[in-house]
Amino acid sequence: MKNDQEYLLYYREKFNKELLDFIAIPSIAALPEHSKDVQRAASWLKEKLFDVGVENVEIMETGGQPAVYGDWMHAGNGKPTVLIYGHFDVQPVDPVELWDHDPFTPTIKDEKIFARGASDDKGSMFIPIIVFEAIYKSSGSFPFNIKFLFEGEEEIASPKMPEFVSNNVDKLKCDMIFSADGGQFSEDEPNLAVGFKGILGFDIEVIGPETDKHSGLFGAAIANPIMALTQLLSSMKNKDGEITIGGFYDEVVPLSDKDKAEIARVPFDEKQYLELTGSIGLDGEAGYTAPERIGARPTLDVNGIWGGYQGVGTKTVLPSKASAKITCRLVANQKPKEILKKIENHVNRFLPNGVVGKVIPLQDEGDPLLIPEIHKSTDIARDVLRNVYGREPYMIRVGGSIPILSAFYKYLGVHATMFAFQLDDENWHAPNEFFRLSSFYKGQEAYRQLFHKLGSISS
């Protein structure tokens, strides 16, 4: 084989088949009945990394779902050490009846792979592995020191990964990090993510009488927990969409004119966005555009609410308790634990009379991240994307959260650069998830150029 580019083309069908085999493993981290499948996906990855020439490959315990690590460290001290990150766990498939085919029987149709995990994140995270293979097998060497870390619990907010990173600083030590989880703006428009929201998840439980009571005998005399909960939730935002929890915005850095201009450069079609969501109109914090709110302003959302009788017909009870599930998406400088304390203070202050309320923290917690404008790995990635796509990438702030990225910066002192090739119309977390083969191939060329560019620099 003459070179790595020819290698990738020659073995294209082999790589496609391997990806289908990988995707077929139902590695759903959220469901205990699939724990063995998560382990099976880890074993598949371990075997693949070993086969392509990666060394020191191991499945590592995290206290939760496993992680897979491997490295190749023979380029010498004068070359950079680069960590490649991705995740091999996937979302549950419910509602399964809305799928057009079995979620774990990968199906290629219209040059797209349909299956759970095809786009998020197995398709994209497989790319750097096969590009390493192409370079190493065609040349007998590799141009820089490389480490791979793939986790098995990203889809459940990586609860054990921050501790795992802190316990393995020496093993994971690197000069740069590239994440194969993320995505591009469109098939023809690249982007680089420079900001990620943090996340805080919690329940609020409001308790009234010890048991459900007769609404005729007690409804006019004691507090109704469902009414109290809805009043409490209503007190957390005003009519302009501003969060009214005391001190909630204290650490938020205002958007500069330059920030707003960069956000405005990214195309946003309101009509198309509303069609995508099925909503009848935009809503949110007054004084900001929808893209500014999505990427750069903190949020508080009620994800679920329950209490009382929910069966067929009527049951005239005054319920004993009511609950709500809430998440906050946080922006740079906001700390989840500090925000949780402010929420607890708000609940204590505004809880209606006659009920008891408590805030119950959940596992969902991760710090926000804002990558500096001048950043070496981002600059390198920008050059590669510009060359592959033929245009300047958008610099975007992401409304979602990837918890491990803040752990990388906290414990390794390195900001991760997103270098992934899925697109956000590919039904992530939804029925009929798919991954474009064109993105799979374009990603291979992008990683090929990235790896050669990284090999041309000194550490």
Domains of the chain: 4-196+368-455 (3.40.630.10), 198-252+298-363 (3.30.70.360)
Report yes or no: 345 and 339 within 8 Å, Cβ to Cβ: no
Give me 333's structure tokens: 């400088």
Angle at 358 between CA 354 and CA 363, to 5 degrees: 160
| Contacts (Cβ under 8 Å, ≥6 apart) of 254 | none
Secondary structure letter of residue 34 according to DSSP: G
Cβ proximity of 222 and 213 under 8 Å = yes
Give the span between the Cα atoms of 87 and 57, in whole angstroms: 16
| Gap between the Cα atoms of 115 and 106, Å rounded | 5
pLDDT at 365: 82
Measure the CA dihedral 22/28/32/35, to 10°: 20
pLDDT at residue 1 in the model: 63
Q: What is the structure's pLDDT at 435? A: 99
Pick from 198, 230, 169: nearest CA to 365 = 198
Closest CA to 167 of 411, 416, 414: 411
The whole-number pLDDT of residue 82 equals 99
- pTM equals 0.88
Longest dimension (CA), the chain: 86
CB distance 152 to 27 below 8 Å = yes
pLDDT score for 364: 73
Where the chain has pLDDT below 70, the residues are 1
